[in-house]
Amino acid sequence: SQTIHQWPATLVQPVGSPLSLECTVEGTSNPNLYWYRQAAGRGLQLLFYSVGIGQISSEVPQNLSASRPQDRQFILSSKKLLLSDSGFYLCAQLDRESEKLFFGSGTQLSVL
Amino acid sequence: QKEVEQDPGPLSVPEGAIVSLNCTYSNSAFQYFMWYRQYSRKGPELLMYTYSSGNKEDGRFTAQVDKSSKYISLFIRDSQPSDSATYLCAMSEGTSYDKVIFGPGTSLSVIP
């Protein structure tokens, strides 16, 4: 079965600082990977998805970027964080056979 | 109109009650329907998954899909305090891997 690793669990960063969140998956090859953001009391907003190495699609133009340097690694980055970037960031993987979406444990980002 | 709408709650019920959680959607192309449970500060956990109209049962949980009415429900029987969480409905067309759309979630509290 697949396992999704996300770290750190909690992050507090000042406005204008850079960001790098990493997600790695185990137990599968060539996965579809996703970054979602969840604002307090709100649903999940799809930020980026990737169907393979170097292939990134952006859903919402914003201050963030994503990269997929390896098959099982997905990275969310920012050069300069904004207050509005605060939220709960979740990495997810789609099982292509079942169409089921599985999530990592998430990173709570607070930009102050 | 939002693509997926969900009763916002919060919902508070006594232990042992039957809980009904509901979502409506506008895209008739949706074929895969999911319910996720999310505890505070954790990643969503897949609870139920179905791709056809009708009922699917798993222990105390029953997922119901009515494609003609574009309406899905999750029923929880004999609710327990451990069921207290936010419940998210999600759905996809199944042909486009990026488009798993989530409802905003319903917060449920089961009071002992």
In chain B, the percentage of residues whose pLDDT exceeds 70 is 96
Residue in A4, A49, A106 closest to B42 by CB: A106
- pLDDT of B100 strictly over 90: no
Q: What is the pLDDT of residues B55-92, one digit of tens each?
A: 999 999 999 999 999 999 999 999 999 999 999 999 88
Distance (Å) from the C-alpha of residue A29 to the closest C-alpha of chain B? 16
Distance from A106 to chain B by nearest Cα, in Å? 6
Question: Which chain A residues have a beta carbon less than 8 Å from that of B102?
Answer: 43-44
Q: Please say whether the dihedral angle defined by the alpha carbons of residues A66, A69, A73 and A79, taken in this order, is positive or negative.
A: negative
What residues of A are in contact with residue B6 (Cβ under 8 Å)? 43
Return d(Cα A8, Cα A26) in angstroms, integer.
17
CB contact under 8 A, A105 and B43: yes
pLDDT at B97: 54
Q: Which pair of structure tokens corresponds to residue A73?
A: 């690694």
Question: In the predicted model, is pLDDT for residue A30 greater than 80?
Answer: yes
Q: What is the mean pLDDT of chain B?
A: 91
How big is chain B, counted in residues? 112
Say if the Cβ atoms of A46 and B88 lie within 8 Å: no
Residues in CB range of B86: below 8 A, 6 or more apart: B37, B38, B39, B40, B105, B106, B107, B108
For residue A71, the distance in angstroms to the closest alpha carbon of chain B comes to 17
Residue A1 or residue A85, greater confidence: A85
**DSSP 8-state symbol, A79:** S
Q: How far apart are the first and last CA of chain B?
A: 37
Question: What is the per-residue pLDDT for B96?
Answer: 52
What is the least distance, in Å, from the CA of A54 to any CA of chain B? 16
Check residue B1 and give its pLDDT. Answer: 62
Reduced to 3 states, what is the DSSP secondary structure of residue B10? Answer: coil
Determine the average pLDDT of the residues in B25-37.
92
Task: Tally A–B CB contacts below 8 A.
Answer: 54
Interface test with B, best of A103, A105, A109, A110 (most B CBs within 10 A): A103
Comparing CB atoms, the residue among A46, A96, A103 nearest residue B43 is: A103
